Homo-oligomer: A and B are copies of this chain.
Amino acid sequence: MADSDPQPRPMIKVPRIPPMTVRRLSTYYRILRTLEALGDSEPLSSERMSHLTGFTAAQVRRDLAYFGSFGKRGVGYDIQELQLSLRSILGIDRQWAIALVGVGNLGMALLSYRGFSSQGFHITSAFDSDATKHGRRFGSIVVRPVEDLPRVAGEENIQMAIVTVPPAEAQRVVDQVVAAGIKGILNFAPTQLQVPKGVWLVRVDLSIEIEYLSYLLTNS
């Protein structure tokens, strides 16, 4: 299931998807899960999805149509079926093993955050360069030296890393993550980082968010 088949282009689809489209898919998926949990089983129209998400109906249809024809004309989208399709597209129809690097305040919070694991994202190991933290336990996870990352990544088949180290260490840590063969990195360090081709880096920068809010309050 967690195969790493080495073909360059695994399937026929994917005619260059706008990043924002992919990000909206997560929202659609969450809405569908909520509706299902509420017992709603009516087919869902793009119009109704529009009300639920705040995106336009045309955008909902366009976004979904990038990946195929999931709806029935005159009817709408089947909640169950579309949910399964989105799970498959987003790659969340599987379990992901994740290493957390940097066990500071934010790192510790993410270790205990339930929102990830419920959707198949499992932080299975934690690393820190600070020797005084080594051996410390968080639930079933023991903090280890960053040097152990390559070995552990192989042993535990880790496919993602969450980086929550101070900015000055971030590039060095990311280099180690890449050297460990990990291809996906979620970076919380507020700094510009380089990764080689074939490695994906997604950045969450809280300074940018709060300064954007500051801008909006100041200039609007």
Write the residues of chain A forming the contact surface with B, with a CB cutoff of 8 angstroms.
10, 14, 19, 22-23, 25-27, 29-30, 52-54, 89-92, 96, 105-106, 108-110, 112-113, 115-116, 119, 121, 159-160, 183-186, 190-192, 200, 202, 204-220
Main secondary structure of the interface of A (DSSP, over half): helix
Residues of B within 8 A of A92 (CB): 211, 214
Q: How far is the CA of A220 from the CA of B4 in the complex (A)?
A: 11
In the complex, which residue of chain B has the Cβ closest to the Cβ of A183?
B217
In contact, B119 and A213 (Cβ under 8 angstroms): no
In contact, B206 and A220 (Cβ under 8 angstroms): no
In contact, B190 and A213 (Cβ under 8 angstroms): no
Q: Nearest Cβ distance between residue A11 and chain B, in whole angstroms?
A: 8
Q: How far is the CA of A106 from the CA of B218 in the complex (A)?
A: 27
